[in-house]
Chain A
């Protein structure tokens, strides 16, 4: 296999969700209402094939419900495909849900340790990055306060700073270029450019076509669970805009 060439290989992936309209959670309900357990199968991804090379920066675009976020979740192994397989090569970080696992009663510093350990870092590695993380978040004087005292912007800044500094080979980013104020957004954008220069593989899910054009070389357009177009950003985005407006 060409494992050295590719960061992510998505091989004929199907994903179906069971949508329960009225879910039977207990044995009693399952026994009593087993006929009434309304369930709908919703096929979200229908045979996705995608190969992403090391160092590529790819945008996933598409209208709501086209399966973009599902595809990202499959790549992080939060959920698993019904058919097909996904191979990832290298350390992977997802910026899907920033601040998941933050504990409001713990200080910012403690949360950095806890959050970074969820990403699989050891204590020593976190020690080494602690200053960078605090520096980037611009929360120096607040870092020892409990996170519940933070504003939502501060919270997102801290979460973003941890995620971006864990030194992953692959970054999956879902619609988060809207973190914080203008100044911080620009800083994030610069950081993304920097990571791109360093040869990280990145996948963006976003609706902001401007940032797609600025950051990504390649764009994959998902439509109703299949890949509609896959090619150079400008071509795909032009066609996408023509179709959707």
Chain B
């Protein structure tokens, strides 16, 4: 009898430690974040709990009249709308091209395209900041060689956003390309051989065999990329601190600035919840669309 009790408890010794850590650093924090988003918790409240006041929806109401927040929201939407389709199209394009050949050259390209994904965002952001420098940066120098006048890149509100997107694309394509390549290699060769016999050319094969076979991978990349761009943080944090004129600030950076630079924990938690709800909404819309498409085909 004792042995059976012991063997009943064994599974919990396996999953227990990981679950306890996730509980304390992921699940409970969500509840705390929700709670403090309805309070005025700030640096004073941290030292003296009695000064924390429950202020209802005030944080949320203030957020939507805070120009900085609204600007961050519209910047984040810009990042998502521009960034997500570009990542999907470019990484799929890279995967299709690399899948075209099998020799050393194509293998080398696969390696090169993936490398930016594993490097530290801070380090590459520092490098790109230097390359974007309007006076002695590499990019303007190369542009001037082919007779194109240089841009202000990170110093101009219009180009700054695009500059950050370019860096994020450079870094983000590789991983997704590998996901597409793995899926491409899983498509049975017999499908192509049959199409070849029917006289289908390369483009027709891509359209009717390759792309439909990739639908799950495309969906996966779409969802993960979308979530990633909603949380866009490292690049604006290192390169522009949200400037110039708040033009590159993202919601994630807004949360950090208000939480850790201004110590308005309650206000920042409210902003983080707005972001969380937006992510859940966007993701579930995608799941809906995916389900519908599967129902049709």
- Chain B binds chain A: no
Binding site for A on B (CB under 8 A): none
